[in-house]
């Protein structure tokens, strides 16, 4: 059972771009996320429900223009087959609220072999010292 979302309340909380990406499966323009060049220790949470999704330990520079991670925190995300736009991809959503986050690919350069290509607009960052 997913968390119930009040879409009208959420529209007030998020920017129109965030809402579009998270709730209407949009994609942010590559290279626009301030999280791209973030190198410090941090946790990244769902912008809708606040559940922790990724750790900076898993973050790497993929060169794609989207924040990239080699793994999600255990149980934090769910996977869905996505055949839109003539491509066969795996969509990644927040396991708690079902919001769209991005896609995962099997061409990751790190030990897991995964590349989570995540819209920075979907994430809230909490820095850790
Ligand atoms: Zn969420």
Share the mean pLDDT of the chain. Answer: 96
Model confidence pLDDT, tens digit, residues 88-114: 999 999 999 999 999 999 999 888 999
pLDDT for 18 equals 98
Task: Give the pLDDT score at 66.
Answer: 98
- Please count the CA atoms within 13 angstroms of the CA of 7 that sit on its side-chain side: 7
For residue 118 the two structure tokens come to 């995540």
Catalytic (active site) residue 49: no
Q: Which tens digit of pLDDT belongs to each residue from 17-36?
A: 999 999 999 999 999 999 99
Can you say how many angstroms the Cα of residue 105 is from the centroid of all Cα atoms in its chain?
Answer: 13
Output the CA 14–ligand 1 centroid distance in Å.
13
DSSP state of 126: E
pLDDT at 2: 80
Cα-to-centroid distance, 70 and ligand 1 (Å): 19
DSSP string computed for 46-81? ETTT--EEEEGGGEE--SSSS-EES-PPTTSEEEEE
């Amino acid at each position: 059972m997913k968390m119930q979302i009040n879409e009208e309340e959420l529209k007030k909380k998020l920017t129109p771009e965030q809402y579009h990406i998270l709730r209407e499966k949009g994609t942010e323009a590559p290279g626009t996320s301030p999280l791209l060049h973030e190198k410090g220790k941090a946790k990244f949470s769902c912008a809708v429900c606040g559940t922790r999704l990724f750790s900076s330990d898993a973050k790497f520079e993929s060169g794609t223009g989207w924040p990239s991670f080699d793994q999600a925190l255990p149980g934090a995300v769910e996977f869905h087959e996505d055949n839109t736009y003539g491509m066969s991809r795996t969509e990644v959503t927040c396991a708690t609220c079902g919001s769209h986050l991005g896609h995962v690919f099997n061409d990751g350069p790190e030990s897991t072999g995964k590349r989570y290509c995540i819209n920075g607009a979907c994430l809230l960052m909490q820095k850790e010292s």
